[in-house]
Amino acid sequence: MEWSDLRVFLAIAREGTLGAAARKLGQTQPTMGRRLQALEHAVGHRLFQRTRSGFVLTDEGAAVLPHAERMEEEALALQRQLTGQEKQLDGMLRITASDWFAEYLLAPVLAEFSQRHPRVVIELLTDSRFFSLSRREADLAFRIQPFDEPDIVSRKLLRMPYGVYAAASHPVAHAGDGAGVGLITMDTAFSDMPDVAWLQRMLPNASVFFRSNARAVQARMCLRGAGLAVLPCPLGDALDGLRRIDLGEEPPTRDTWIGYHRDMRRLARLRALLDIVIARLAD
């Protein structure tokens, strides 16, 4: 049994298809299929049931899964510990943040960091999903809620103000009504975000015209006159053509947290980046 084949097994179990697992590991789909066959031959069991919707673990595959995850955690812990001892200011740092935060707040800071440390390569991942710091999917993460993983070192970075924005051509909105006003909000998967309920409470007669989990997309739709949107002030204030609307009450603020795995705390390039991020962005 090869450890690299167990990585293939874990990727397929998590992603559900050969194609998605291949993209995750940066390999081709035929290679993934061959390596899965080799693993199944080595253990003497079928580990997945092939269905129309994807790969589903068999009973034998479900029995293998926790052991493979423990092996992965040990391998990653060794990698993190060795990486965390590096003192050189070179190599790669993988960062994850939301799209608008990366564009309007992080980009200037990262540009300054790159000028100071040109041998450090920054890879920035903008996605609504959480990347695992334990599995080294990212080295540093910015989130709008506290980290609950036990091995993560974190701190509150800043408190983000929000405002209500509209294009100049959009109808005037009055608190407590909102008739004839369109709303741009988060999609249904993020309907529990505090600004969604706040906006609907302030404008109970308004209609939702557009939903998106990307604040930058919301801002662009707002700029086109599609409706009112609650936006982070650094984003809304930066776009010419948007005006801030006063409804007599400010939208809820959100905290931004920064976190990294504790095994990485001595990594020189990570410490250097943390120093500049905190100096430029922390409250």
CA–CA distance, 278 with 283 (Å, rounded to integer): 8
pLDDT digits (tens, 9 = 90+) for 213-237: 899 999 999 999 999 999 999 999 9
Give the per-residue pLDDT at 86.
Answer: 55
pLDDT at 79 > cutoff 80: no
Query: Percent of the chain scored above 90 by pLDDT?
Result: 57
Least confident interval from 8-17, 108-117, 123-132, 154-163:
123-132
Listing DSSP states for the chain in one string gives --HHHHHHHHHHHHHSSHHHHHHHHT--HHHHHHHHHHHHHHHTS--EEEETTEEEE-HHHHHHHHHHHHHHHHHHHHHHHHHHT---S-EEEEEEE-HHHIIIIIHHHHHHHHHH-TTEEEEEEE-SSPPPTTTTS-SEEEESS----TTEEEEEEEEE-EEEEEETTSPP--TT--TT-EEEE--GGGTTSHHHHHHHHHSTT-EEEEE-S-HHHHHHHHHTTS-EEEEEHHHHTTSTTEEEE--SSPPPPEEEEEEEEGGGTT-HHHHHHHHHHHHHH--
Least confident interval from 48-57, 87-96, 204-213:
87-96
Query: Is residue 65 exposed (0-12), middle (13-18) or buried (19+ Cβ within 10 Å)?
Result: middle
| Residue bearing the bigger pLDDT, 189 or 95 | 95
pLDDT at 13 > cutoff 60: yes
Give the per-residue pLDDT at 3.
Answer: 75
Write out the two tokens for 4. Answer: 């690299």
Instruction: Tell me which residue of 153, 182, 137 sits closest to 262, measured CA to CA.
Output: 153
pLDDT at 85 > cutoff 60: no
Q: What is the mean pLDDT of residues 99-112?
A: 94
Q: What is the mean pLDDT of residues 23-38?
A: 89
Residue 85: CB atoms within 10 A of its CB come to: 11
Confidence of residue 270 (pLDDT cuts 50, 70, 90): very high
pLDDT at 40 > cutoff 70: yes
Q: What is the mean pLDDT of residues 137-150?
A: 91
Round the average pLDDT of the chain to a whole number and report it: 89
> What are the C-alpha distances in Å from 12 to residues 26, 43, 52?
13, 17, 15
| Residue bearing the bigger pLDDT, 267 or 113 | 113
pLDDT at 84 > cutoff 60: no
To the nearest 10 degrees (0 to 180), the angle between helices 3-15 and 18-25 is 120
CA–CA distance, 204 with 178 (Å, rounded to integer): 6
Query: Percent of the chain scored above 70 by pLDDT?
Result: 96
| Residue bearing the bigger pLDDT, 247 or 73 | 247
Q: What is the mean pLDDT of residues 88-96?
A: 87
